[in-house]
Amino acid sequence: MSYSVHTPIVGQRRPSPAPEGTAPRPAGPPHLGFRPDIEGLRAVAVVLVVLSHAGITRFAGGYVGVDVFFVISGFLITTLLVKELDRTDTISLRGFYARRAVRLLPVSTVVLVATVVAAWFWLPATRFTSISLDALFSTFYGINWRLAAEGTDYLNATAAPSPLQHLWSLAVEEQFYLVWPLLLLAFWARRRVLVALSVLVVVSLAISVQQTTSAAPWAYFGSHTRAWELGIGALVAVAGGFLRRTPRSLAALLTWAGLTAVLVAAVTFDESTPFPGYAALLPVLGTAAVIAGGTHAGGWGAGRVIGTAPFRFVGKLSYGWYLWHWPVLMIGPLALGRDPSVKTNLAFAVAALGLAWVTYHTVENPVRTRPWLRRRARRGVALGLILSASAAVLALIAGLLTPALPTGPDGPDLHAEIAAAADPRSRLTEVIAGSLGAGKLPANLTPRLADAGAVKQSPRIYQDQCHLNYTQTRPAGACVYGDPDGARTMYLIGDSHAAHWFPAVDAAARNHGWRLVALTKAACQLPQVLVHNEVLKRPYTECVTWRNQVLQRVARDRPDLVVMASNDTDNGGLIGADGRTVARAGNQDDPLWVRAWQQTWRRLDGIPMLLLQDTPLPDGNAPECAAVNARRLGACDRRTTRAISERGRRGLIADAAQASGLRVIDPTPWLCGRGKCPIVIGNTLVYKDNSHLTVAYAEAVAPVVDRAIFPRR
């Protein structure tokens, strides 16, 4: 996170005496010494983050604690750099980066190594390769970009959080400090720096606002969209001389108003708040107010509370607590076989504070105060390089050592069994029945659990950009498959729950000599609705645009058949004509879904249509369940009544579809039998995540899908 203001400066040049006859240089702000209010503000920040992550709904917006840290860091680091510039006319870059390495890397390396080792023992093996990559990216402070890229991937949107995910904030800071000392050197003169900083803050904030509405993951994790927060802290540091002229009563009021702003953000924001964007102004400016007012608030400022011993104690441990709390919350319940709950999470959070106390006294404080390291900057740099290289090597080796899973005898080759059957549907039913209550994973499982999330387990239309992501609205090409020269044409349209049937529908089209046009889009259902997108954190207008274009194309082409499929769930909720989310209490929005589907069907009136109902869903991430229950796979079987989401709505839509002349196909018998739905059928993994079919399964059941689309007379 950030230094204390009184952190010693390593490798600093001594000032040269001023030549005779020259006027003395105007004094910059004096060294402020230890600020107990800032130490306490750190405590406020880390407590808010921990309470939010522990699931305390009252503090759902506690993630703003990270923004508080950014402002504190910008202020403290810039204070040190400005002091050095005032004394020496330069900045020892080697000394600066040595201090960062000595301050941050010893503890973060301990936490990273401990997390990787704990993940190997207690987290599902399917996640270990990804976690080792997170460790590698964290070592070089690049995990924020990895998380941003994954956050825009719809198929990763529901993946379990990485136990190293919280290190994104450290990555943002270090990317900022890679260039900030250089900018200070380039622009040094207090007024020029104020202008340059102001430009940086305005530009970064503008990008943050724009990307929060258009590319939320990049806005949240990006250093370019967070730089303004560190810049605000830096502005307070550079303007320190002016701030100390503030009347004491006004300065005290400023600290209380700022602290109130931070707490208001923490209790009023939640996961649906578009963030950072404009919303981040509240905690950021609030923090700046606490720091700025605290320079001259005296005993009546907020420091009267947050500068007390309990706050200072937690603030002193805040860096370690921040590092430890998230891995402990992610791994602790699994290690002890406990179901996560608020009480359990709070207990683990306290345990993480204990670990922070231990590492503070055994690693953090002893290393950063060691005279041998403080005397020579190059020693601090060397320590940083050694720690980073060691962590990187560990991450690379760990990626090659995915924990092995126990396997049993081979299972029936589902693809071969269905392909050879005279009645594919009956044979599939038999294999499903034989797969219920299974023991060990079959030795010939396809795809392997570790490969379930690989690119090759996404249908071809993903690589061809015929399945669009959140922000795309037009496919890359014509998206023609099946038999491109076929005399008859079939369309497959819908969201990702239509896309995962593509391998089977494509095979059916080829078998019958039909052209297939496949047009699908992430989380974009076909009924004429506007939904709130939980990833973009705003109305999903791109879905409306894409859906209108697709329906216009279908209506113009007049194909021989349209196969449509969509997820039955609400995403982030329907948005009504008044711009508000429609209440779900009592399934009030079910009739709206039915009417929205009817509007879609009317736009394609006269074209043969087939509604392929939604797929039964596993209970959470299927590959992870299989990894955790590799010796008793039947534990992952889910009751059919629970696997089918929105049963009431599903029935209403099916009735309306049949009344409108559509054929309706229920795929439940293709995945479930005897009241349960297994996640492995024969030798084939059914789901690649918590709702999408693997390519292997869609290809295996292609003959069944073929006969459903083209029934034999």
Q: What is the pLDDT of residues 485-539, one digit of tens each?
A: 999 999 999 999 999 999 999 999 999 999 999 999 999 999 999 998 888 888 9
Average pLDDT over residues 1-5: 42
Give 371-380 pLDDT, tens digit per residue: 888 888 899 9
Q: Which residues contact 357 (CB under 8 A, 6 or more apart)?
A: 317, 320
Average pLDDT over residues 247-273: 94
Phi, psi torsion values for 666, nearest 5 degrees: -100, 115
CB 357 within 8 A of CB 317: yes
Q: Which residues contact 337 (CB under 8 A, 6 or more apart)?
A: none
- Report the C-alpha gap between 120 and 129 in whole angstroms: 10
pLDDT value at position 25? 37
Report CA-CA distances (Å) from 360 to 110, 318, 354, 355, 506.
Answer: 11, 10, 10, 8, 59
Average pLDDT over residues 281-288: 98
And the tokens for 261? 């702003």
- Report the C-alpha gap between 704 and 713 in whole angstroms: 15
Per-domain boundaries in the chain: 36-399, 414-622+639-674+684-709
Give 116-138 pLDDT, tens digit per residue: 999 999 999 999 999 999 999 99
pLDDT value at position 356? 98
CATH superfamily, domain 414-622+639-674+684-709, is: SGNH hydrolase (3.40.50.1110)
677 pLDDT more than 80: yes
- Report the C-alpha gap between 77 and 100 in whole angstroms: 10
Average pLDDT over residues 239-264: 90
pLDDT band per the 50, 70, 90 thresholds, residue 586: low
pLDDT band per the 50, 70, 90 thresholds, residue 20: very low
Average pLDDT over residues 688-701: 96
pLDDT band per the 50, 70, 90 thresholds, residue 473: very high
pLDDT value at position 581? 79
For the chain, the residue count is 713
CB 118 within 8 A of CB 147: no
pLDDT value at position 156? 60
> What sections of 309-361 are H helices per DSSP?
309-316, 318-335, 342-359
Three-state SS at 610: strand
158 pLDDT more than 80: no
CB 59 within 8 A of CB 340: no
13 pLDDT more than 70: no
pLDDT band per the 50, 70, 90 thresholds, residue 112: very high
pLDDT value at position 479? 97
pLDDT band per the 50, 70, 90 thresholds, residue 15: very low
Report CA-CA distances (Å) from 24 to 20, 88, 121, 266, 324.
Answer: 10, 13, 63, 47, 48
Tell me which H or E stretch contains 132: helix 128-139
198 pLDDT more than 70: yes
pLDDT band per the 50, 70, 90 thresholds, residue 340: confident
Average pLDDT, the chain: 91
Percent of the chain predicted with pLDDT > 70: 93
Instruction: State pTM to two decimals.
Output: 0.87
Beta strands per DSSP E along 56-170: none
CB 228 within 8 A of CB 201: yes
- Is 8 or 293 the better-scoring residue by pLDDT? 293
- Helix axis angle for 424-435 and 702-709, nearest 10°, is 130
Least confident range of 152-161, 517-526, 699-708 = 152-161
pLDDT value at position 331? 96
30 pLDDT more than 50: no
